Structure 1
Amino acid sequence: MDESLLRTLTPTVISILVRRGAGFAAAEDAVQEALIEAVRGWPDDPPRDPKGWLVTVAWRKFLDAARADTSRRHREVLVEGEPDPVPGEEVDDTLQLYFLCAHPSLTPASAVALTLRAVGGLTTRQIAQAYLVPEATMAQRISRAKRTVSAVRFNQPGDVATVLRVLYLVFNEGYSGDVDLAAEAIRLTRQLAARTKHEEVAGLLALMLLHHARRPARTAADGRLVPLAEQDRCLWDTRLIAEGVDVLQAALARDRLGEFQAQAAIAALHADARTAAETDWVQIVEWYDELVRLTGSPVARLNRAVAVGEADGPRAGLAALAELDASLPRHTAALAYLHERDGDLATAARLYAEAARSAPNLPERDHLTRQAARLNAELRD
Structure 2
Amino acid sequence: MVTYGGDEVNALVLDVGSTTTRAGYAGEDTPKVVFPTSYGYVEETDNDPASNVDGDVTMTERSDARIKKYYIGDNKINIWRPNMEIGNPMEDGLVNDWDAMEQIWDATFRNMLRVDPAEHPLLCTEPAWNTPEKREKMMELAFEKFDFPAFYLAKDAVMTAFSVGRATALVLDSGGSLTSAVPVYDGYVLKKGILRQPIGGDMISRQILDQLQNDLHLDVTPQYKIASKTVVESGQSAQVQLHDRPATESFNDYQISRVLHEYKESVCQVSEVTFDEGIMASRPQKPFEFPDGYNNSFGVERYKLPETLYQPRAFLRIPPMAEGSEQTRIPSIGLSKQQIDVTLGMHQLVYNSICSCDIDLRPLLFNNVVVTGGNTLFPGFNERLNYELPMMAPGLKMMQ
Establish whether TM, by shorter chain, passes 0.5: no
Give the TM-score range, shorter chain.
under 0.3
Q: Greater share of helix residues, 1 or 2? A: 1
Q: Which has the larger radius of gyration?
A: 1
TM-score in terms of structure 2 length: 0.26
